[in-house]
Chain A
Amino acid sequence: MTTVNAIAGDIREGRYEDRYRRLKSWGFTPRNIGMILLILFLGFLTLYPLAMLIYGSLHSTPPGMAGEFNLNGYRELLSTHNLIALLNTLGISFAKTIPSLALAVLFSWIIARTDTPFRGQLEVLITLPFFVPSILTAMAWGMLGNPKVGLINQAYMAMTGGTEPLINVFSYGGIIWHLMQHSTPFLFLFIVDVFRAMDPALEDSSRMCGASRWRTFRSITLLLMLPALTNAFILSFIRGIESFESPLFFGSPAGITVVTTEIFNAINYRSGPQPDYQYATAISVAILVLMFLMVLVQWRMLRGRSFVTVTGKGYSPNVTKLGPWRWVTFGICVLFFVVTVVLPIGQLAVGSFFRFFGFYDPSMLTLANYVKVGTNPEFWRGFCNTMVLGVLGSTVTMFLGAIVAYISVRTRWRGRTLIDTMAWLPWMMPGMVLGIGFLWAFAILPKSIPIYGTIWALFLAYIALGTPIAVRVMVGSYAQLSLDLEECSRVHGATFFQTLWRILIALAWPSFVVGWVLTFFGILRELSASVMLYSVGSEVLSVIVMKLWLNGLAEQVSVIALFMMLLVIVFRWVQLRLLKHHITTL
């Protein structure tokens, strides 16, 4: 029997050998074909919509309409007004990212490296603000920090007898503060596992060399984390530049213009009944180029500096005994949680039981908002669609991200820089414009490729939008895993894919899960592309929230927000449980 098989095998190989060799001589190895397919797929998801936008920025009319090619869009960029908007944008984003990063590092250290009580619970709580739709926290802070009637100022004035408000959210400070609430947990999610996964000997050895704890933190821990930190910094900085709700809510009243509000104005009939897409896309492309330069600088700076801090040996991270100070760190975390979650979400929670948000007259107490949401079939349909899209979308995205990250970090294959770059692109485009890019890209396809108007349009857009984060998370995680672990597996007879699956995914899976959660909630929140691509029957939750918001039904929006918070807590709890289980069985 074995002989027969062997002979059959010989024949099979013999017959195909020639052809295979010929294909190979043209470069058609399975690896190259795989790379080409990957490049095509990523290109379709990222370069193609981007190309539509570049077309839009160079053409006097949007795709499908007669017009001419010119540079008017770009010419218009060169104005003092835009320079101010750009400086505002960069300044605000910088001003929010730096303190957010500092806080995120502090929290990561507290959670991963100290004996602060209840840090398991705190970890969930600290990350909550990331998951609350920013429009809701904006609404809540508009009421809390309102200079005239805001609760905080009223409490402050009542306590001190002063007449000047303590805070005014309608200011630069307000925008920065509001953005920080979102970016701190975002950065924390990126950094905490880097802290957790670091080989404690790297720090111990510094102490043995005579360095104090603080010196060790500065010259070893932080520098080792530099690649991860700059990665997270850039992601967050770019997100800050693209933020829209906070500047609209808190900047407009103070006359602060930023790039995104400029784009919004251009799309919204700045000059008569034709939306100015040429200008809007030109700004976005300019931003993209700027961001891309920044990423290039980062790449140059960190060339060859992806540090392996996780070795094959299992260990638990260094935990610093803080003594009585642990209650101080505990207090800091709780304070953050109270300020960023309890205050705004408390507002939403209370508001959801009243007829009108913010008017807490006992006679207006009602459950009607809950009933309305609960009996709204659109809400449930949107919820189901979002869950399906979210679970499938983030799973596919994470696998794609894992593969792209692997190829870009761990191989010397040709084209690896290209795919890494392509995977960045969607992150660098302001959402509002990217949504239009997807619409143009999918709608212009021939009818035989039925993407536009189907749920696939959302699915593909979500993958494209999630890939940057997925790749960054996985790059960070691979970069820390020692190559030996993987080589060991290859040596022991595992194929490339088995290795990827068994070793990398198995070891990198805590990061995979973090990435999954980030992507999942990214999908849950995504609005710009959703509103351009959803079709009747494939409504998603974010679109429903937006509709309710546009309809002035803030109270129902609060109900959905609370529901989403619940979802977040359940997800995070399950995730951390899984991780804990994983760690104890390690």
Chain B
Amino acid sequence: MTRLISFVTAALLVAIYSMAVSAQNWDDIVATAKKERELTVYNGFGGGDEFKEINALFQKRYGITVKMLEGRGSEIAERVRTEVATGHAIGDVTVNGATANTGLSQANAFQVPGTLPNMSKVILEKTFVEEVPLFVNAYGITVNSKLVPPGQEPKTWADILDPKWKGKIISDEMSSSGTGHTWFSVTLEKFGEDFHRKLATQNLQFSRTVRENPRRVAMGEFAMYIQTAMSDVGRLEGLPIRGVVPKEGLPYTSFSGAMIKNAPRPNAARVYINFVLEPEAQLVLAKAGFPVSTGDLGDKVPANLRHLVNAPLLGRQNLEGQAERLKLAKEIYGR
């Protein structure tokens, strides 16, 4: 018994001590980060101005200048990988989609950021060890308000199989990786192959210009677009479209931050990643319509976006077996 008590006491002491040490360390890290003065972020997330806003907030709080380099996800990833592989590290942090960042993790291009104070608030699960999930892009439906009167919109994903939508659905390409394929993978896992075999008879119009598709719905060319990034709904406010969340929830892609191996400014990198998890930064993302990784932000989110930001999430793509799934999509949809 005494042994047990002494063990527990010892364990408690160790725990308290380590917490104190980590708090102590964090202050040191912040102080050193400030001395590093600046930081380079490689951003492969093609959002709006959200990260510019977050960077400004970060700069205001810590006095550290953020240089941000943006590009398409795969291009940014290749720059990060090449820099690490050739020892030319310029970037400190990268923000990118799950696929690109998982690839970089496998390519040994990241380092674990250590304990971040805000890490405990993250409710999304990690896919790789160095990852810090920041927010997700969730894919729901946009319907044309005139072609689809209130009440007529799909309530569940199965509703899009209704023959009345035949030829009226625009979809992102499912047989090449990207939004459409993510959606395909998740719905395949949740609803089975049969769901897609039926959907294939709906005469979907495929397109690879994701940003254009909600506009084509708004134009009335199609009644609905089934993989709309929910963040686009708020952005297109004013156009005759509505965002719809089927009750099973939305397939999503998570966007994460990671610290690049041999980052020239490691402390600033840690502080930055931690900062994106701060409520003020998360709110910037939520206001843009992205479900964030630290959970519900309550009534700080504008009312019209709340149901989108807090929409239930159906699942995300399992990166294993992607090649086979791409083939399957090709076969089902005859692409």
A433 CB to closest chain B CB, in angstroms? Answer: 11
Q: Is B296 an interface residue (CB 8 A)?
A: no
A355 to B239, CA, bound (A): 10
* Contact between B221 and A146, CB atoms less than 8 A apart: yes
* Contact between A274 and B106, CB atoms less than 8 A apart: yes
* Contact between B215 and A537, CB atoms less than 8 A apart: no
A80 CB to closest chain B CB, in angstroms? Answer: 13
A275-B78, A531-B71 known; A252+B173 contact, CB < 8 A? yes
Of the residues A357, A443, A543, contact of B82 by C-beta under 8 Å: A443
A63-B85, A64-B86, A255-B335 known; A267+B235 contact, CB < 8 A? no
Of the residues A267, A270, A272, A551, contact of B46 by C-beta under 8 Å: A551
* Contact between B74 and A269, CB atoms less than 8 A apart: yes
Q: Is B218 an interface residue (CB 8 A)?
A: yes
What chain A residues lie within 8 Å of B320 (beta carbons)? 272
Q: Is B112 an interface residue (CB 8 A)?
A: no
A188 CB to closest chain B CB, in angstroms? Answer: 29
A431 CB to closest chain B CB, in angstroms? Answer: 12
Interface string of B301-318 (1 = CB under 8 A from A): 000000000000000000
Q: Is A430 an interface residue (CB 8 A)?
A: no
B228 CB to closest chain A CB, in angstroms? Answer: 11
In the complex, what residue of chain B is closest to A142 when comparing beta carbons? Answer: B212
A139 to B213, CA, bound (A): 12
A551 to B72, CA, bound (A): 10
Q: Is A79 an interface residue (CB 8 A)?
A: no
Interface string of A360-384 (1 = CB under 8 A from B): 0000100000000000000000000
Q: Is A534 an interface residue (CB 8 A)?
A: yes
In chain B, positions 69-83 with a C-beta closer than 8 Å to chain A are: 69-75, 77-79, 81-83
What chain A residues lie within 8 Å of B47 (beta carbons)? 551
Interface string of B214-239 (1 = CB under 8 A from A): 01101111000000000010011011
A551 to B100, CA, bound (A): 18
Q: Is A358 an interface residue (CB 8 A)?
A: yes
In chain B, positions 238-252 with a C-beta closer than 8 Å to chain A are: 238-239
A213 to B125, CA, bound (A): 77
* Contact between A536 and B67, CB atoms less than 8 A apart: yes
Q: Is B120 an interface residue (CB 8 A)?
A: no
Of the residues B69, B102, B211, contact of A550 by C-beta under 8 Å: B211
What chain B residues lie within 8 Å of A537 (beta carbons)? 67
In the complex, what residue of chain B is closest to A552 when comparing beta carbons? Answer: B211
In the complex, what residue of chain B is closest to A138 when comparing beta carbons? Answer: B209
Of the residues B87, B90, B99, B239, contact of A269 by C-beta under 8 Å: B99
What chain A residues lie within 8 Å of B205 (beta carbons)? 253
* Contact between B88 and A452, CB atoms less than 8 A apart: yes
Q: Is B322 an interface residue (CB 8 A)?
A: yes
Q: Is B154 an interface residue (CB 8 A)?
A: no
In the complex, what residue of chain A is closest to B76 when comparing beta carbons? Answer: A531
In the complex, what residue of chain B is closest to A543 when comparing beta carbons? Answer: B71
* Contact between A534 and B69, CB atoms less than 8 A apart: yes
A149 to B178, CA, bound (A): 26
* Contact between B75 and A531, CB atoms less than 8 A apart: yes
In chain B, positions 86-108 with a C-beta closer than 8 Å to chain A are: 86-88, 90, 99-100, 102-103, 106-107
Of the residues B79, B178, B215, contact of A268 by C-beta under 8 Å: B178
A27 to B71, CA, bound (A): 49
A270 to B48, CA, bound (A): 26
In the complex, what residue of chain A is closest to B48 when comparing beta carbons? Answer: A551
Q: Is B19 an interface residue (CB 8 A)?
A: no
Q: Is A547 an interface residue (CB 8 A)?
A: yes
What chain A residues lie within 8 Å of B209 (beta carbons)? 142, 248-249
Interface string of A42-53 (1 = CB under 8 A from B): 000000000000
What chain A residues lie within 8 Å of B79 (beta carbons)? 439, 532
* Contact between B86 and A443, CB atoms less than 8 A apart: yes
A551 to B48, CA, bound (A): 5
What chain B residues lie within 8 Å of A272 (beta carbons)? 99, 103, 319-320, 322-323
Q: Which 6 A-B pairs have the closest CB atoms?
A: A64-B85, A550-B46, A273-B103, A536-B67, A271-B323, A273-B102
Please name 13 further chain A to chain B contacts, defined as beta carbons within 8 Å, in addition to the given A64-B85, A552-B235, sorted by A numbering.
Answer: A64-B84, A142-B212, A148-B220, A149-B220, A255-B335, A267-B78, A269-B177, A272-B320, A356-B239, A440-B82, A531-B71, A532-B78, A536-B40
Write 19 A-B pairs (CB below 8 A) sorted by A numbering: A64-B82, A64-B86, A139-B212, A146-B219, A149-B216, A268-B176, A270-B322, A270-B323, A272-B322, A275-B103, A356-B238, A358-B219, A444-B86, A534-B69, A535-B90, A536-B40, A546-B72, A551-B47, A551-B49
